[in-house]
Amino acid sequence: MARGAAISLAVISPAEGRIKWLGVGNVEGRVLSSEQSARRIKGSLALGSGVLGHDLPAVRDATLEVRPGDVLILATDGVDAGFADSLDISGSTDAITERILADHGTRADDALVVAVRYLGPRI
């Protein structure tokens, strides 16, 4: 039996208003737009199949523009992959993660959700 870990990495560059991210394994990543008139998924984390520690695939990072108020969410495979399809991103990031776990946690696997709101560059 092969053992390893899934991992995703996201780096936000406030000065550039960009996020660079990559992932391997079963972690879903989404960036959701804060624009009220166009509330939508701006991007999804491109994942390489496999696990760290065994048969690591070629991994490529992707870059995505972010605006103040946009929300980055990473969720493990214990959360239904459609969690962001109609997600309300109002309120705190704690409230967002609680809603995702309550509405989309599958109970078939461990579930972890991380949400980060991009506030923009510091002045």
CATH number at residue 68: 3.60.40.10
Domain that holds residue 52: 7-117
Query: Is residue 2 domain-resident?
Result: no
Query: Is residue 122 domain-resident?
Result: no
Query: Is residue 65 domain-resident?
Result: yes
Q: How far is the C-alpha of 115 from the C-alpha of 18, rounded, in Å?
A: 16
Query: Is residue 61 domain-resident?
Result: yes
Q: Mean pLDDT, 10 residues at a time, over the chain (123 residues)? A: 72 89 84 74 65 69 90 90 88 95 85 92 75
Query: Is residue 1 domain-resident?
Result: no
Query: Is residue 103 domain-resident?
Result: yes
Question: Which amino acid, residue 50?
Answer: G
Task: State how many domains the chain has.
Answer: 1
Q: What is the pLDDT of residue 49?
A: 63
Q: What is the pLDDT of residue 72?
A: 93
Radius of gyration of the chain (CA): 15
Q: What is the pLDDT of residue 53?
A: 67
Q: How far is the C-alpha of 63 from the C-alpha of 90, rounded, in Å?
A: 24
Query: Is residue 123 domain-resident?
Result: no
Query: Is residue 108 domain-resident?
Result: yes
